[in-house]
Amino acid sequence: MRTFADVISESHRRRLVAVWMLSRPHQWSKNLLVLVPLLTAHRIAEPGLLPRGLAAFAAFCCCASLGYVVNDWRDIAHDRRHPRKKDRPFAAGLEPMPLVLWLLPSLALGALLVAAPLGLAVGSALAVYTLVSLGYSLVFKRVTGLDILVLALLYTSRLWVGGLATATPVSPWLLTFALGFFASLASAKRVTALTKAAARGESGLPGRPYRVANRRLLIAAGVLSGVFAMLVLVFYVESATVAALYTRPAALWPVFCVVLLWLVRLWWLAVRGRLDWDPVLFALRDPLSYGLLLLGALGVTWAL
């Protein structure tokens, strides 16, 4: 026979699971982008820099989770009509509001405490990121085109903040490539959702400004963004910056091929509705992506 303590314990477990799901820990992998400036500048092994980069990563995890909580709360009605998002804690009715009111300030405080040793510039940048992220959840994602641009900027801001946290200048090449690359990923996410909506006989996406009729335009915009990113990578490989950083710059061409192959495959799957709802989840669960990542890492190592 179950005791009162067992019932309370089970209730606490459900709440902890719901809080964990609300925080979307699988999305924290995006925040590893803060370490990219250290890697591209070849400073990852310098004393004291990696801990600062990891602190920026932890602060970003808190800020990003705060944004996800607000986003899910704002989208309850739309998520309940979505085949995948209906299982989110708010949409499924698993998360009581009083606990959320405790969770939001806790995440904000956590970000503040972790970012404090990194300096005012990093703290200010994280505050701006959080405000833009909240703006995306409340307004921007309902504006055609602006949602994709804001998502690309939010991704790219991780690189910039990573540079601030580690006092590492972020190359304009890297920032420009990132804007095009992440705009392409954001477009692929929308195309995937529209393709699956069309297969279900729906005309559009709940809570989004896009309709199935916009699918071809989004494909064109996303592919062009990807082409732009790859062109930037081409010019970077042939630049004086690469010549100064690498002993064998030509060895970076296989890396270019790896990135191109991954992006082409992503779009091939997105257009056919075979991509996961989120490109990040796709990459985390896709064995070929890990294989391509290993090949890219070997190419960079060879170029050093």
pLDDT in tens, 97-124: 666 778 888 889 999 999 999 999 999 9
Residue 195 in domain:
yes
Number of domains forming the structure of the chain: 2
Residues 103 and 54 in one domain: yes
Q: What is the mean pLDDT of residues 268-282?
A: 83
Residues 38 and 99 in one domain: yes
Q: How far is CA 88 from CA 16, 25, 62, 93, 147, in A?
A: 14, 13, 19, 8, 21
What is the rounded distance in angstroms from the CA atom of residue 276 to the CA atom of residue 284? 10
Q: In the numeric block, which tokens belong to residue 253?
A: 């061409």
Determine the pLDDT at residue 27.
Answer: 84
Residues 110 and 178 in one domain: no
The answer on pLDDT for 4 being more than 50 is no
Strands (E), 103-182: none
The answer on pLDDT for 262 being more than 60 is yes
What is the extent of the structural domain holding 50?
1-119+130-139
Q: How confident is the model at residue 174 (pLDDT cuts 50, 70, 90)?
A: very high
Residues 29 and 97 in one domain: yes
Residues 20 and 66 in one domain: yes
Residue 158 in domain:
no
Residue 46 in domain:
yes
Residues 193 and 135 in one domain: no
Determine the pLDDT at residue 102.
Answer: 80
Residues 108 and 214 in one domain: no
Average pLDDT, the chain: 86
The answer on pLDDT for 126 being more than 70 is yes
Residues 302 and 184 in one domain: yes
Q: In the numeric block, which tokens belong to residue 22?
A: 């609300």
Q: In the numeric block, which tokens belong to residue 81?
A: 């009509």
Residue 183 in domain:
yes
What's the pTM? Answer: 0.88
CB environment 98-129: b (16+ within 10 A), e (fewer)? eebeebeeebeebbeebbeebeeebbebbeeb
Residues 186 and 227 in one domain: yes
What is the rounded distance in angstroms from the CA atom of residue 59 to the CA atom of residue 123? 9
What is the rounded distance in angstroms from the CA atom of residue 239 to the CA atom of residue 249? 9
Q: Quickly count: other Cβ atoms within 10 Å of residue 30's Cβ.
A: 18
Residues 135 and 182 in one domain: no
Sign (positive or negative) of CA dihedral 154, 155, 156, 161: positive
Residue 212 in domain:
yes
Q: How confident is the model at residue 125 (pLDDT cuts 50, 70, 90)?
A: very high
Residues 115 and 175 in one domain: no
